[in-house]
Amino acid sequence: MPQQTTGRDGRLRSRTARLTGYRRLFALPGARAFTTGNLLARLPMGMFSVSAVVMIAGSRGSYALAGAVTATGLAATAVAGPWVARLVDRHGQAVIALPATAVAVLGSLALLLCVRYDAPDWTLFAAYAGTAATPNIGGLSRARWAHLLRDEPGALHAANAFEQAADELCFMLGPVLASFLTGTFFPEAGTLAGAVLLLAGMLLFTAQRATEPPPAARSQAPSPLRSPGIPPLLACFLATGAVFGSMEVVTIAYADARGQRAAAGLVLALQAAGSCAAGLAYGARGPAGPRLTRCLAAMAVLMALPWAAAGTGSLVVLAGALLVAGMATAPTMVTAMALVQRRTPADRLNEGMSLMVTGLLAGIACGSATGGWASERLSPVAAFAVPAAAASLALLVGLAGGRRA
C-alpha cells in the first residue's frame, strides 16, 4: 500500500506507485535529474585511463610509463575510495562528494599541464594520484535508489539492474569517446573533456537534495568487512574484476596478432553491449532472480566461449562469442550488489559498496597483468584461458561463501 500523503507530492507518489519496472523508477520526483547528472559524471570513468595512456605515451614515447602512472592512480583509488565513502555516509553526498570531485578534477588538470609542459616524470604520478579522490559515482546513485525504494524490493531490483547497465554503457562509450577526442583534436582533449563532464555531472547530481539519503551520525556498526557474508562477496568481486581486466587485454593482443588492433575496441564494445542488454532484461523480470552461485556458474560456462572461439582464428566469431559471454556479467553484478546492500549496515552503505568497487578494480589490475603475461609468454589464443579461469575461481569462491548467496 502506498503511504498516505497529501498535496502535490502525495498525488505524484500515488500515481508512481501504480507504475511498474523502469517507468516506476523515473516517475519518482527528482529521479531523472539525479540520474542525468550521475550519467554525465560517470561517463569519464571510461575515458580517463585511455586518455591518460594516449596523452602520456604520445608525449613521452613510453607505454611503460603511461601504464605505471595509471596503475598508481588505481592503487591510490583503492586506498582512498572507502575513506571518501565513509565520509559520505557520515556527512552526506553533497557535503563530501562535490569537494572530492573538485580535488579529482584538479588532479586531472594538473596531469594535463605536467604532460603539456614536459614536467619531470615523478610529477605525473603525483598529479594522477589526485584523481583518487573521485567518489564512487555509481555507489552514490545506488545509495539514492536504496533510500527512495527501501520498502519496494521489486523496484530496487530494477534500479540496481539499471545502474549496472549504466556502468556497462559508460565503460563501452567512454573509451570510444576518449579515442575520438584524442585522435581528432589534440592528445589532451580526452582528459580535458572528462574533467569537464565529471564536474558538471556532479554539480547537477548533488544539486538534487530532495533525493539525497540523510547523513548518519558516527556509525556504531562494525566495518562492512566484518559484516557476515561481506568478505566472500569481496573475493567474488576481486575474481570477477580479473575476468574483466584479463578479457580486455587478451582480446586486444589477439586482434593485434592478426593485424586488426583497430577492431579490438568494437569487439570489446559488443561484450559490454551484451552485458548492458542482459542487465536491463534481468531488472525487468523482478527481484526473484537466481542465486548468486547460479549467476556465477553461468558466467563460468559462458566465459569459456571466447576461448573456444579464439581457436577458429576469426575475429568475427570471437565478437559473437563475447556478445553472448557478456550476457552473464550484468546479472552476476546486479545480484552481488543486491547482497552487498542487504548485508551492509544501512549507515555504512556507501562504504560497503565502495569496498566492492575497490575489489573489482584490484581484480581488473591483476587480470590485466596476468592476461598480458599469458599473451606474451603463451599465445594470444591460450591467453583466453585466463578470463575463463578467473570466472571459474569466482564460482568456487561463491560456492565456498555459503548457500545464502
Examine residue 4 and state whether it is found in any structural domain, yes or no. Answer: no
Domain boundary among 171, 201, 218: 218
Examine residue 1 and state whether it is found in any structural domain, yes or no. Answer: no
Domain co-membership, 384 together with 237: yes
Report the CATH number at residue 243: 1.20.1250.20
Task: Spell out the residues 6+ positions from residue 91 whose beta carbon is closer than 8 angstroms to its own.
Answer: 215
Examine residue 312 and state whether it is found in any structural domain, yes or no. Answer: yes
Examine residue 13 and state whether it is found in any structural domain, yes or no. Answer: no
pLDDT > 90 in the chain, percent: 31
Domain co-membership, 75 together with 98: yes
Domain co-membership, 202 together with 348: no
Q: How many domains does the chain have?
A: 2
Residue 200 is predicted with a pLDDT of 96
Domain co-membership, 270 together with 127: no
DSSP letter, residue 386 = H
Domain boundary among 218, 239, 269: 218
Q: Find the mean pLDDT for residues 240-269.
A: 81
Examine residue 311 and state whether it is found in any structural domain, yes or no. Answer: yes
More confident residue, 4 or 192: 192
- pTM: predicted TM-score of the whole model, two decimal places: 0.75
Is the pLDDT reported for residue 14 higher than 60?
no
Between helix 189-207 and helix 31-42 the angle, nearest 10°, is 160
Examine residue 103 and state whether it is found in any structural domain, yes or no. Answer: yes
Q: Find the mean pLDDT for residues 2-18.
A: 46
More confident residue, 31 or 401: 31
Domain co-membership, 177 together with 253: no
Tell me the pLDDT of the chain averaged across its residues: 83
Task: Spell out the residues 6+ positions from residue 221 whose beta carbon is closer than 8 angstroms to its own.
Answer: 227, 345, 347, 348
Domain of residue 405, residue span? 226-405
Question: Please, are residues 85 and 353 in contact by the beta-carbon 8 Å criterion?
Answer: yes
Examine residue 231 and state whether it is found in any structural domain, yes or no. Answer: yes
Helix then strand count (H, E) for the chain reads 18, 0
3-state helix, strand, coil in the chain (%, to 5): 80, 0, 20
Domain co-membership, 340 together with 356: yes
Domain co-membership, 190 together with 239: no
Domain co-membership, 128 together with 26: yes
Domain co-membership, 262 together with 196: no
Q: Which amino acid is at 117?
A: Y
pLDDT > 70 in the chain, percent: 90
Domain co-membership, 28 together with 168: yes
Domain co-membership, 205 together with 311: no
pLDDT digits 0-9 by tens, 341-356: 888 877 777 788 888 8
Locus of grid cell 521489486: 154
Examine residue 6 and state whether it is found in any structural domain, yes or no. Answer: no
Is the pLDDT reported for residue 1 higher than 50?
no
Residue 18 is predicted with a pLDDT of 45
CA–CA dist 337, 132 (Å, integer): 22
pLDDT digits 0-9 by tens, 162-181: 888 888 788 777 877 887 88
Is the pLDDT reported for residue 16 higher than 80?
no
Task: Spell out the residues 6+ positions from residue 112 whose beta carbon is closer than 8 angstroms to its own.
Answer: 55, 188, 191, 192, 195
Domain co-membership, 334 together with 377: yes
pLDDT digits 0-9 by tens, 348-403: 777 888 888 888 878 877 887 788 888 888 888 999 999 999 999 999 998 887 55
Domain boundary among 218, 244, 268: 218
